[in-house]
Amino acid sequence: MKSKSIGIALGIVCFVLATSLTLQIRTMTMEDSVVKQNFANQELKDNLLQWKEKYDKAVKQLEISSKQLDTIRENATTNASDSEEKTKQLKQNNVLLGLTNVKGNGIVIEMADAKTSSQYADASSLLIHDGNLREIINELANAGAEAIEINGQRIVNSTYIMCAGNVILVNGEKIGSPCVIKAIGQQEMLYGAVERAGGILQLLRLNNLSISVRKENNIQINKYNGALTRKYMKDAE
């Protein structure tokens, strides 16, 4: 009976020890798992912080790049606009200088030396002279002509019309009778200027020169082919 009690007591002690050992092992396992989990969480947190830092830097760099791109686009737009405006101004200046072919409404004057004359007439009065052409050009310019041409020679600021023996030089090129003068501008103004009473054309007709004036649309006038030079004029500072 005594030995049976001892066995029971030992069994209970063993059970208690086994239970305690099991609980201790489980506790240690859980603590180890918690430690490992904490380490894993900390590593994940560190990685997350690192990626967030990289992301923030990338966002800032993107903002800087976007501003730079906007500046480049703005400058490109401004430069394109300026370039377009300068090109437009250059074309307009070339038109005014006579450096481009132009067309428009205006008048055409056709002149030729006289074929017949009276015995009392001065032979030189039967011919077209450089002075006659200059007077006609001045009349047209004063009437607002925007482009003038004589026998294919564009009249510009540097144009000279002069007599050289039996021929007339316009821009250094020889021209003779018949002369065809084209002028682009307000038709009524141009026509009235050259056909006015007492005007140059009326005087020339008295010498039997053949002269006709007509209004015409879409007159074609060629550009000036010479070189525009300046000897005395300089840019003002």
Instruction: Domain 102-221: give its CATH superfamily.
Output: Protein of unknown function DUF881 (3.30.70.1880)
Q: Residue 124 and residue 127: Cα distance in Å, rounded?
A: 6
Tens digits of residue pLDDT in 172-195: 899 888 999 999 999 999 999 999
How big is the chain by its Cα radius of gyration, in Å?
51
**pTM for this prediction:** 0.62
At 112, is the secondary structure helix, strand, or coil?
A: strand
- Among all chains, which residue has been given the structure tokens 């038709």? 187
Report the phi/psi class of residue 16: left, alpha or beta, with left for phi > 0 and alpha for psi in -120 to 50: alpha
- In single-letter form, the type of residue at position 176 comes to G
The 10 Å Cβ neighbour count of residue 57 is: 10
User: Is the CB of residue 183 less than 8 Å from the CB of residue 142?
Assistant: no
Q: Residue 72 and residue 114: Cα distance in Å, rounded?
A: 70
The pLDDT score that the predictor gives to residue 5 is 58
The pLDDT score that the predictor gives to residue 158 is 84
Average pLDDT rounded to a whole number, residues 3-11: 56
Higher pLDDT, 37 or 88: 88
Q: How many residues does the chain have?
A: 237
Q: Residue 28 and residue 33: Cα distance in Å, rounded?
A: 8
Residue 2 clears pLDDT 50, i.e. is over it: no
Could you tell me which of 142, 150, 148, 139 has the C-alpha nearest to residue 200?
139
Residue 153 clears pLDDT 70, i.e. is over it: yes
Boundaries of every domain in the chain: 1-97, 102-221
Tens digits of residue pLDDT in 70-115: 777 677 666 666 667 767 776 667 766 778 899 999 999 999 988 7
Q: Give the bridge partners for 104, in sequence order.
A: 219
Higher pLDDT, 128 or 15: 128
Q: Residue 131 and residue 111: Cα distance in Å, rounded?
A: 14
Could you tell me which of 226, 228, 219 has the C-alpha nearest to residue 146?
219
